[in-house]
Amino acid sequence: MSERGEADNNGETDDFRVHVATQAIRLFARHGYEATTVDQIAAAAGVSRRTFFRQFRSKEDVIFADHESLLEQASEYLAGDTDDPWGAVCEAAHLVFGRFRENRELSVRRYQVVQRVPALRDRELVTGYRYERLFTDYLRRAVPTAEPLDVVGFAATVTACHNYLLRAMIRGDESATAAKLQRTLVEIRRKFGVATDDEPAARPDRGADTSVTVVTYPAGMAPDEVARRVRRQLESPDVREP
């Protein structure tokens, strides 16, 4: 058997990991997560069992492999020079959304698999929080004079709105587009007072309903708790689908 990845570059590229993840998710969707074995995944991906375990610790790891790749890409993007750190966070969110939109079929299959397995749903929540943490840590370094509540609130709001539109896109909502994310992020920047002077005003889709999310909290509340409340409010099932 010719081993993809081993023949190319010893299976260490992001493309290789996403290839294996794609094959694994296809098998999970067809046969079920529990019923699919590592040997089946390795065979479908054209690699050996040994190669699989060099790259992934478990089946659970492989299903989120593209997230790992995107987290690295977002981190590398934020490491670049910029005069607008708040805008850089928004651009990183766009990068992630765009990659998932390009691979919507894979995202849909993973969504279907994850919804059936409680352990995978928990892992997905943790993975989502890693994006928020990446944005928070970056802003703390890039804008050390910013109020901590502004930093965690901004990162939490950007992440929550991105995730909301991402899930809507995966579920087939045609209005969940990159343009809608752009308008949403512009409004977030304006609300937090970090929009640039030449930033165009965000306008809702013609005929679309708009809403305002209000989160209240007592003075002195820990920043992480404020961020948690923002996420919970934005992700609440009571918020109408766009």
Q: What is the pLDDT of residue 97?
A: 94
DSSP single-letter state for residue 205: P
Calculate the CA 239 to chain-centre distance: 20
DSSP single-letter state for residue 204: P
Average the pLDDT over 156-182 and give the result. 94
Q: Note the CATH number of domain 6-62.
A: 1.10.10.60
pTM: 0.72
* Residues 46/6, Cβ–Cβ less than 8 Å: no
Report the b/e string of 23-37 with b at 16+ CB within 10 A. bbbbbbbeeebeebe
* Residues 4-54 pLDDT 10s: 444 344 335 678 888 898 899 999 989 999 999 999 999 999 999 999 998
Fold exhibited by the domain 64-234: Tetracycline Repressor; domain 2 (1.10.357)
- In 3D space, the residue among 167, 153, 170 whose CA is nearest the CA of residue 239 turns out to be 167
- Beta-carbon count within 10 A of 127 CB: 14
Q: In this structure, what token pair is assigned to residue 173?
A: 């909502």
Average the pLDDT over 141-153 and give the result. 96
Give the start-to-end residue ranges of the domains of the chain. 6-62, 64-234
